Structure 1
């Protein structure tokens, strides 16, 4: 049976020069009375037809028709193709045509078959052309395909996968290892019952209705996979699910982290290859392989997997015993991928999110290098990396950038700015978060510590239209991050009017950023210079992302951040060491309703961090406890 493959090889090779003469005006046809010309022509036609036969969805009909026994040879050619799992072949007539008489000639064929999931196998066979009546045919012999096949022998291939290499933390500790898995599915057709599909929905979070449709549409006798789980998880489910009608399982191994949640959105997940992931896995991958679906497992699939080895043996058709091994290719082991993650800090980040009820993310980076230390998304198991890819209004965490812009415009930390209940900008009314009462005029530092929206917005006329955009760039916001896995660096478009500019000053309107981008803002304040984020050293671009902040601006922001902890909205962290932080509450519209996301950005020592809680009441109340928990677990 033919398999669909991705590559088609077309033979464009010519017959040898000594056999290429033809009579003038004959349109290039060989002289049937010249046995060398005639036999060479049929061998060339046969070679081209063989290429078509082993092409994707090819059939042996044309090649078989050129032989003296089409029925027997067509099946034999197809059987060898299937045994080798060949995705393509090149067949080249070569050397001199040798004729023993005027009805029998031979010519060698150089064959190169691409064995799916292994590589190229090369051999030389001999095509014998015989004259049957007035036509030349290729003798329908097994040795025409491969020497030694004869009438009954056959080829058998085996493929060996090397152990997948691990993804490592910054200290070289393995974060992933090869563990047993179980692919759980159902038999095609109607073998599974309504109770079976209900159990998939209840126990494995698989859409039972969709699985039922797939099973009914699949060809008879097919295994319809539903989900890949750890062997220990199946051991718990087997007593109940294993007895249900139609349930089938397949065993295997996959590269997994210690737990299903550990750094899942960064490390990525493994699953049996599909069309898209097979293409990413490269030419030596097989549709039966467990390959990376997302994260680093996907990004570094070929490096981690290495290349498979393979053996093709010639076997006796009667005894089934190996006559000899005719092809051997050694596999190459995969190479580990070393990341900047810190295992203990990652564990601390995940533990801090574990008790949350709302979707939340935490990112920690090394401020002096931009190296990413921990990335957690919770509380549910998810492969979506909202910490890197989320597009969020950063709310009042963005007042760090606004403060830098205002300090650059001539204001000082002690410049007086009015904190009123509301402020109107060209018909748009802005207010403070509910817990803040207006306190009148006060220094900018107090406005930062108390997170007064109106105080900052009152100064919007001091900034040029692109002032916020240019200042945000000093913190690395608005640039492509170019990490090994997808990540969003934020966007601060130049405002189209004063209302949009006012909104941007408090991290609303058209301003968006990911938790990673906000963590890098905290790192810029801590270190003084924005650094490019790095997850995989040597792969991700490292170094500075912008010119250093003016020294006076950096010093002022550090004071702002520290006093926000000692006497402002981030005072929950006052007992967590020498921490600088800024809270944020961002209003967003979800399902037609205005809800708030709670933020906090900060740093301690050389570690900068950001937390977002979707639907959190405020930064101090929602994100603050997470960071307090996180900071308590390391020094």
Structure 2
């Protein structure tokens, strides 16, 4: 060890203006003959190489090359990385090296590793730098990585996930709970046969070819998961699939609703994490976790999941026994998400949609608050929430808005609106739905009750060009809906010409809305003011979405909708209490053919609702029976 530097410097003060021993951290390259500088430099390089080794896609070769036994140390550093499941690491040399002689120095390393799925773990290890020939090397000891590792001991981590919290209805009743599931997959490699993959395709709707490709690409001895299903579903499949070559299963629990279809598109689904869902799940999630993939399970993944706990133990390399617990982190339980859904009404909506043979959606809201009471899509389970996200022409349900626009222009319920078979607007011919015969002279109320297209279109020249856009805004149609899960607010663009204006008056052309948006039209009539829809209180914006409708307009619309039930196109709902409603049949073009969607919107008491049936013949024939079934299930 050099001890002459300070003396030489002191004696030379009489001759020179300054002197430096060029210690680690000073300007200029390190002096290879100064043990402190040389050892500090190799420790610094080693720390940087360690950080690179434990970075995503990092390799330990560079760090190993700086040691006196690269082959042994490279594997050791990689093994500890794998054992801890470290995603990143910080390694910072502390202070100055302490040198015992000219060839051996030690320096502490402050280490902070981010354990994927657990969180940070901090420790201090000691790097020993030794001079090997003319070069300085780090001693290839396990203690350099973690104190006490030595040549044979090892670290083992255990991760503990807290139980996932439930999604609750408005009364605090759990809509999801942790239920037994079975993860079904295959062994990696070529163990599974063509028959195995064919069974996945046939019985579990899993692409067998893609699963086979994943299995062949996976490392040897790995479980390649394909799908997670309820335990009771697996019991039905076990006799036919249980003994197929290469098929493997793992038991577990998952946060699920009572049935696979119940409110699925709103509550959401759970699956093994992907790159996208893992990013959404946050830094304490693991690639093996079951995480929310859609709906509320996705939107509130981190709140529902909580944070995992974990321990890291130092274990004896020979006995495998724990020497000590070197790191412990307590997990935090997830917090429930309380929604505005009502279990009774959601169940009623699910049952009502089950009677349909065509794709259908039903939304029910509390008119006075905008809180969503039920949102169902059927008749089969789907993750696509057409009830919130569907872009549909609202058809004649939009005549509620049109009537408000006409009433606002000075017309009244008694204003004459003639109902003819057809009406032509600048060369474009409009007609009524097939079941309506022209009746000639009649009032606005009669045109509403009978849903006469030509009667309303006859008034298109009496409204300003932006009248329908402004009227729609009074019902909350148009503005973006900032719900906690995706929802469409609708669109009523200002018409580009008279034909477009005429089409908008009967809910066609460029007018679009979701079933949720149409339900809010009914709610606006019931309450008198459009409210913002709310699914998760405290998260979703609430309160009025527009100024109150004029009292005269509200009174007229309530009469219109009630008499449509007592003596108009919504008579299918008669006998279900004081129901007020409006039917709708919207024409849409699919694959070059004109088809119809059946609609109905309305309210009873403080509950407003909307139903759409894709491909339904008409509102009264397709949506009406579903709504009648729904109303019959609650008071």
Which string of whole-angstrom CA distances, capped at 9 and with x for unpartnered residues, describes residues 386-413 of structure 1? 0000000000000000000111111110
How large is the Cα RMSD of the aligned pairs? 1.3
- The question of 1:457 aligning with 2:462 is answered no
In the TM superposition, what is the alpha-carbon distance from 1:205 to its structure 2 partner? 2.4
Kept in 2: contact 1:47–1:93 (CA 8 A):
yes
**Which residue does 1:372 correspond to in 2?**
372
Aligned pairs for 1:594-609 within 5 A: 594-609=594-609
Per the alignment, residue 253 of structure 2 pairs with 253
Matches within 5 A, 1:455-534: 455-534=455-534
Q: Secondary structure at the match of 1:417?
A: coil
Structure 1: unaligned runs, 5 residues or longer: 1-16, 23-27
Stretch moving more, 288-297 or 244-253 = 244-253
Which residue of structure 1 aligns with residue 405 of structure 2?
Answer: 405
CA shift, 1:217, in A, is 4.9
List alignment gaps of at least 5 residues for structure 2: 1-21
Q: Which residue of 2 aligns with 1:119?
A: 119
Q: Determine the C-alpha separation between the residues in 2 that align with 1:189 and 1:311.
A: 33
User: Offset at 1:221?
Assistant: 4.1
Q: CA deviation at 1:29?
A: 1.5
Instruction: Specify the alignment match of 2:574 in structure 1.
Output: 574
**Secondary structure of the residue that 2:565 maps to in structure 1?**
helix
| Deviation by residue 1:33-70 (Cα, 9 ceiling, x = unmatched) | 21111111111111111101111111111111111111
Match of 2:51 in 1: 51
Aligned to 1:187: 187
Q: For the residues of structure 1 that align with 2:601 and 2:83, how far apart are their CA atoms?
A: 60
Q: In 2, distance between residues paired with 1:88 and 1:615?
A: 54
Note the C-alpha offset of 1:220: 4.7
Q: 1:232 to 1:482 in 2, by over 3 A?
A: same
How far residue 460 of structure 1 moved from its aligned partner, in angstroms, is 0.3
Q: Which residue of structure 2 lines up, in the alignment, with residue 14 of structure 1?
A: none
CA contact (8 A) 1:372 1:533 kept: yes
List per-residue Cα deviations over 1:2-58 (Å, max 9, x = no partner).
xxxxxxxxxxxxxxx963235xxxxx2211121111111111111111101111111
Structure 2 Cα separation of the partners of residues 121 and 191 of structure 1: 39
Equivalence for 2:240: 240
Aligned length: 614
Name the CA shift for 1:137/1:214 in 2 (closer, same or farther; >3 Å).
closer
TM-score (norm 1): 0.95
Map of 2:208 onto structure 1: 208
Distance 1:610 1:311 in 2: 52
- Alignment partner of 1:20 is 2:20: no
Separation of aligned partners in 1, 2:217 and 2:326: 41
Return the alpha-carbon distance in structure 2 between the equivalents of residues 57 and 408 of structure 1: 66
Whether the 8 Å CA contact 1:422–1:432 is kept in 2: the answer is yes
Structure 1 residues 61 and 190: alpha-carbon distance in aligned structure 2, compared to 1, 3 A threshold = closer
Displacement after TM superposition at 1:209 (Å): 4.0
SS in 2 for 1:447: helix
Q: Is the 8 A contact 2:355 2:626 kept in 1?
A: no
Q: Using the alignment, how far apart are the partners of 1:310 and 1:457 within structure 2?
A: 68
- Could you tell me how far 1:246 is from its partner in structure 2? 2.8
Q: 1:500 touches 1:509 (CA, 8 Å); kept in 2?
A: yes
How far, CA to CA, are the matches of 1:539 and 1:180 in structure 2? 30
1:149-168 map, 5 Å: 149-168=149-168
Q: Which moved more, 1:129-138 or 1:354-363?
A: 129-138
TM-score of the pair, normalised by structure 2: 0.95
Give the equivalent residue in structure 1 for 2:354: 354
Q: Is contact 1:349–1:374 with CA below 8 Å preserved after alignment?
A: yes
- The aligned residue for residue 6 of structure 2 is none
Shift of 1:557: 0.4
CA distance 1:38–1:217, change in 2 (3 Å): closer
> Are the equivalent residues in 2 in contact too, given 1:21–1:37 (CA < 8 A)?
no
